[in-house]
Structure 1
Amino acid sequence: MPEIELKFQVPREREASVRRAMARASSRTQRLQARYYDTPDRRLAAAGLALRLRKEGGHWVQGVKSRGDGVMQRGEDEVCLPAGQAPPALDLARHAGTAAALALREALHGGAEAELVEVFATDVRRTLREVRAAGGALVEIALDEGELRGAGGVAPVLELEFELLSGPPSALAALAARWVARHHLWLDVRSKAQRGERLARPLDAVPAMKATRPCLRPAMSGEQALRAILASCLEQALANACELAAGSGTPEHLHQCRIGLRRLRCALRDFGGLAGDAAPPESAAWQAQLSELFRRLGGTRDRDALQEKLLPALVADGAPFNELPSPGGAADDPGAVLRERETGGLWLALLGYLHAGEAPAAPGDSRPSLRRQLRHTLRRLHRRVAREAAGYAVLDEAGQHRVRKRLKRLRYGVEFCSGLFADAAVGRYLAAVRPAQDALGERQDLLVARSLFEAQLAADPRAWFALGWLAAREPQVVARCSEALAGVAEAPLFWRRRGRG
């Protein structure tokens, strides 16, 4: 059965205050010792499954957890074993007849537990407290203190979990938001199984999560579709944000986190109308917060991108330097920004909306079909780009930057809706959009680099070389932008065709 929970990392400087908040007469403490199993080639981890035997007090529990939505909801099947078995052997037949059994069979390709080996273990002291939340919800709060052990390595555990026992999921997010504000917790969507797996490998970093296509169905209401789109965007942003907040992120995690934030902003701005009167009233405030978060994460990412793409070309053409100048002022540390309580509050506000109950339809409400609403949005986004394509070369820099942002919104919109239209037709349209996005991205890189080197002139005359080089490339890049945008304007509009489903 699914479990709905949120997990947070507790900063060491807040450990004492969290312990005090958990210390109530009704609180209880137990020791949990778990062993996690997988095949030597990690088939369960690849399928998003965690198989464990856990000793809870005096008895053992065999459990299977699945990834769920990757944020707030996970699948779980547990079997409490008879007392006296210490430690018991694994037996996958204990999950017979459940969704967990099917998932295990598919991941193991029909194999049995003979292939499974212990990969890592956990040993934690758990303090439990039950809290009544808004709407009569009952939430169990668990403070876990201990360690993960695998492949000779050890990683500390200091986490606070909120699990919904009964009531609306939105109440869970609201309660967690109060604890985040009070104790500066930061949301972590990585499970213990995922942390243990990287310890056992061992892995310093895991691949960044890229965008996934929302699962839209023709019969969905506009409100359901909006939530599905936002959930897809938030999953990408959070998966990468947690790696950065934990200090294990890479430049690619930062890049993909910013893409997730940009997609969230586009979803709220261009598809918020799908929900009609049920659209989140906080949408404008969320967009402003996402925009500010995106900006604060941008300085480091922009320099990383220039270092990777533009600097090698400069050096190859004889630049008298082999590194980029440092931007003026200190850039924000992405991990610190993503651990801020204001960031956590934003994540939880979005999660609260995603898991709120759907508003009842108004009497006589006869909104058009989902596909028809999406066609209208795509047509509007396309027309805005096509209208300025022919005159792109004569636009000022602000105007050219506006076209780039509109093109990104168009591409994200197409990707959001693509599941409801024929793949081949969508693919042909995106084949016209991608070259334009690449060209406009190169144009933006030139502008950012120019600003960087102009600020360096007084301190380093070698910046003149870079400025001359950038000026020489500009006409060619602008011409490529104009040509690629013309291709977008003339691309066959897939939403005019008969779609799937």
Structure 2
Amino acid sequence: MQEIELRFLIPPARLKGLMRQAKVKSSQVTQLAAHYYDTPDQQLAQAGIGLRIRKEGNNWVQTIKARGDGIAARLEHNTTLDHEHVQAMLNNNALMPDLTIYKDTAIAPALAKFKLKKLAKNLTRQYVTDVERTTRLLVDDKNYKNESSIEVAYDHGKIIHGKDDTQRQAIKEIEFELVSGDLDFLFATAKTWCKRYKLCLSTVTKAERGGLLITEQAYSPAVSANLSQLEVHKDSSRPTFIRAVVNNCLLQILPNSSAIAEGSEDDDHILQLRIGIQRLQSALKAFNNFSDQLNPEWSVILKQTATLLDEYREVAYLAHTVQPKLEQQGAPTVDWSAELKNIKVSPIDAVQANDFQLTLLELIAFSMSDPSTEAQADKLAIDKLTKILSKHHTKLLEAEHNLDDLDIDNAGDVSSNSNDEQKAQHKLHNHLNSHLKSLRYISEFAAPLYSKKQSKRWIKRLAKAQKALGQYLDNLHHKDYYLQKSATEPNALYGAGWFAATLVKREKRYQKRLEKPRSSTTFW
């Protein structure tokens, strides 16, 4: 069985209003006491598997969940246990799950890499949850031919450490689960509630929260792009291809945005969310005619969010990472707190913004929608990819050529260091960096449809060139920030001089790195 659900965090200011909708006459309130199991080294959690025994009313139910085939989909297997047997285990403080029941079930592939007998011996109770669940059923009575229904569940309670019940974490979340019918009704309902109560999507399950509690972590680690999860092949149609690409980008975006929505200001979360958005922006622009269901407004909201994240990250990175490293090398102290305070929109504000959350919902819905209903369902992606890759490759070469021309024009010109000249050079560098990133991301998305050996070598060279150019641009930006800061704080001159001294070396490095993809045979 595959469950399809959307989970949201609730802003405290909206909780009372939401509860009036959740607790209606027809709603039901259930006490849920659950025991969660894993090995001491968290083998199940690392595999994306949650295993629990939970009391649901008068019944004890053993449940296992694993990753499904969509962003909002998870495989789930439930078994009602013998009440007397469970009570006997509880009396002896020996309540343990039975793994033998999963043989020859749909969940079996998720456990294939484990030796179940060995796994069963190593299982321990990691944590317990004590939750009051309020549920109500919503039915789409407008569509009589294919009636759809959703269960709305508001959970309020706590997670308790399995070995130290003084360690606890509060739970306040709402879930929308498709019971029957169409996905469209699930997403339409979720969007309505999201607009009304400013809800924020969360990928953090109770099992994950429990794992964080016992490992004493506030948030899960940042998630980077994982191209092994990109499910495309030579026979992929254009609508199928773009959905798979969007799905792959969301697998990076959603966990990082979830952490930030809960309050993380960790640079890794912000960086990986920013990269995920860049990848998605590149895909939506390059493959914009692969589907009739792409909404041009998505790119507008994504760009807006990315800009806000960039504005915060640049200053925060200087304050929390760059400045401490400079001070380790003998630099004087520079205080960036005023610049941080002047940033009007924090990462949590950018991510919690309703238009961004609604855009994420629409992107998830698109990635899970049926590609076979589109007009281009019979057209292969690979027939168009070669032209797209060649076009972006040409743009990259043109950007390199324009920068080379500017450098030649400035050779021996005493005015080449003027502000106007520097601005022109910065603009061309950023233009080159933008084309380099786009070509890299598009190449990564297209690679599974071409020769693995050639595409791997090409992408590796692009990635090295992008990294080298990125480091050059970072140093350039750091120099400018410190130079501007020196107008009010003379200590900042040290940083400005230090980064200025690195630029020549960084420039030579990125130019050398660019030579390889420039002179290499393309893989398409």
The residue aligned with 1:142 is 153
The residue aligned with 1:358 is 371
Kept after mapping to 2: 8 A contact 1:273/1:279: no
Counterpart-to-counterpart distance in 2, 1:378 and 1:436: 17
One of 493, 497, 506 as aligned partner of 1:477:
506
Unaligned runs of 5+ in 1: 496-501
Task: Give secondary structure in 1 for the equivalent of 2:339.
Answer: coil
Counterpart-to-counterpart distance in 2, 1:374 and 1:288: 24
Kept after mapping to 2: 8 A contact 1:237/1:256: yes
For each residue in 1:312-345, what CA deviation from the matched residue of structure 2 results, as whole angstroms up to 9, or x when unmatched? Answer: 7755776444666853722532123222322211
Kept after mapping to 2: 8 A contact 1:240/1:249: no
Please tell me whether residue 428 in structure 1 is matched to residue 441 in structure 2. no
Kept after mapping to 1: 8 A contact 2:302/2:356: no
Counterpart-to-counterpart distance in 1, 2:382 and 2:288: 15
Counterpart-to-counterpart distance in 2, 1:272 and 1:86: 55
Instruction: Report 1:329-344 matches (<5 A).
Output: 329-330=342-343, 332-344=345-357
Task: Pick which of 156-165 and 97-106 moved more.
Answer: 97-106
- The residue type paired with residue 130 of structure 1 is L
Q: TM-score, normalised by structure 1?
A: 0.90
- The residue type paired with residue 440 of structure 2 is R
Kept after mapping to 2: 8 A contact 1:7/1:189: yes
The residue aligned with 1:100 is 107
Kept after mapping to 1: 8 A contact 2:71/2:247: no
CA RMSD of aligned residues (A): 2.5
User: Offset at 1:452?
Assistant: 1.6
Counterpart-to-counterpart distance in 1, 2:109 and 2:117: 10
Please tell me whether residue 453 in structure 1 is matched to residue 466 in structure 2. no
Please tell me whether residue 407 in structure 1 is matched to residue 430 in structure 2. no
Kept after mapping to 1: 8 A contact 2:137/2:149: yes
The residue aligned with 1:380 is 391
Q: Report percent identity of matched pairs.
A: 30
Task: Pick which of 118-127 and 69-78 moved more.
Answer: 69-78
Counterpart-to-counterpart distance in 1, 2:115 and 2:209: 21
Unaligned runs of 5+ in 2: 90-95, 407-423
- The residue type paired with residue 25 of structure 1 is K
User: Offset at 1:309?
Assistant: 7.2
Task: Give secondary structure in 2 for the equivalent of 1:409.
Answer: helix
Counterpart-to-counterpart distance in 2, 1:442 and 1:184: 38
Counterpart-to-counterpart distance in 2, 1:361 and 1:340: 31
Cα distance, 1:484–1:105 mapped onto 2, change above 3 Å: closer
User: Offset at 1:374?
Assistant: 1.9
Kept after mapping to 2: 8 A contact 1:386/1:485: no
Kept after mapping to 2: 8 A contact 1:241/1:253: yes
Counterpart-to-counterpart distance in 1, 2:328 and 2:48: 44
User: Offset at 1:297?
Assistant: 1.0
Instruction: Report 1:119-130 matches (<5 A).
Output: 119-130=126-137
Please tell me whether residue 177 in structure 1 is matched to residue 225 in structure 2. no
Counterpart-to-counterpart distance in 2, 1:196 and 1:399: 48
Task: Pick which of 184-193 and 467-476 moved more.
Answer: 467-476
User: Offset at 1:494?
Assistant: 1.4
Task: Give secondary structure in 2 for the equivalent of 1:337.
Answer: helix
Please tell me whether residue 270 in structure 1 is matched to residue 286 in structure 2. yes
Cα distance, 1:490–1:111 mapped onto 2, change above 3 Å: same
User: Number of matched residues?
Assistant: 489
Cα distance, 1:388–1:64 mapped onto 2, change above 3 Å: same
Cα distance, 1:156–1:383 mapped onto 2, change above 3 Å: same
Task: Give secondary structure in 1 for the equivalent of 2:269.
Answer: helix
Task: Pick which of 196-205 and 264-273 moved more.
Answer: 196-205
